[in-house]
Every structure is written in structure tokens, then in C-alpha cells.
Amino acid sequence: MSAITKILATCFLGVMLYGCAGHTHKLLSENDSPLVTGSFSHEGTQTPVMVLELEGARYEGRGFVIQHHQDLAELRKLFGPGKHYDRITSGLDRDHIKNSASPVLRAQNGETIRCVLAWSSGQGPAGVCTKPDGKQIDVRFD
């Protein structure tokens, strides 16, 4: 195998592994939060998953939609035409993408918790989850 072939094979493998790997965030504990544990996994080839363990029950949501948004008109005003804006529109600069998700988590007994989360590139998801009784729980992942 030639040196160039080895380099190309290594680069291809790196891209394949990077494209398949997802992100898993752990719940950060809050002082007044009754949450015991939680996680939020997204990206990669696996479906998104969010898990919360609350008051002795495990709530889980799978396969919810993660939306990605960029206000290109606003970014053009902010950065003007040029290299930076071109990198944003081509997808090379993903730092300006805002993400959101609204998973519904279900416990084994059928009870649901509805969550609304948002985050920017390089940050963990954060938001609020609402129980059927209206009680709201702030959540923030690393």
C-alpha cells in the first residue's frame, strides 16, 4: 500500500468514525432539583435519546426531532459578505447554528413529561420539562 493510499484510508476512516459518533451529555445537578440522573444523546447515526430519573421513576424519549436553525439574513448583516459569511453558508462554520428539541419522555406506567430544550454549538442542551401536574423542572446538560 502506498503512502498516499494509507493517508487517504486513514482520513476516510476518521471521517466515517466522526460521522458515526454521537454526543452524550450528562445531567448537571441543580441545587433544588429532585432529579437523580439524566442523559441526552444526539447526532451520529443513532436516534436521539433523553432519559431522566425522577422521584423513583425512569422517563425515556427516543427518536424525537432535533431542529437546526440559522438566521442567514441576520448573520449577513452581522458579518457582511466575505470569507466568514462564506464559511457559514457553506457549512464549514457551524458555530452559528441554534438547535432545539421537544422530546416527550414516558415512564413505564405511561406517565409523560414534556421537555423543551435549546442549545448552540459547543454547549449542552438546556431547558424545562413539565410534568402532567404542571410542575416544571429546569434541566441543563454538560
pLDDT of residue 103: 97
Per residue of the chain (142 residues), give pLDDT as tens.
Answer: 444 333 333 333 333 333 344 678 788 765 556 566 889 887 777 899 999 998 889 999 999 998 877 756 665 666 677 675 565 566 555 655 788 999 999 999 999 999 999 988 778 899 999 999 999 989 998 8
CA distances for 130 relative to 9, 58, 63, 64, 103, angstroms: 48, 15, 19, 17, 11
Half-sphere exposure of 121 (CA within 13 A, CB side): 11
pTM comes to 0.69
Contact present, 79 and 88 (Cβ < 8 Å): yes
pLDDT of residue 46: 84
pLDDT of residue 43: 72
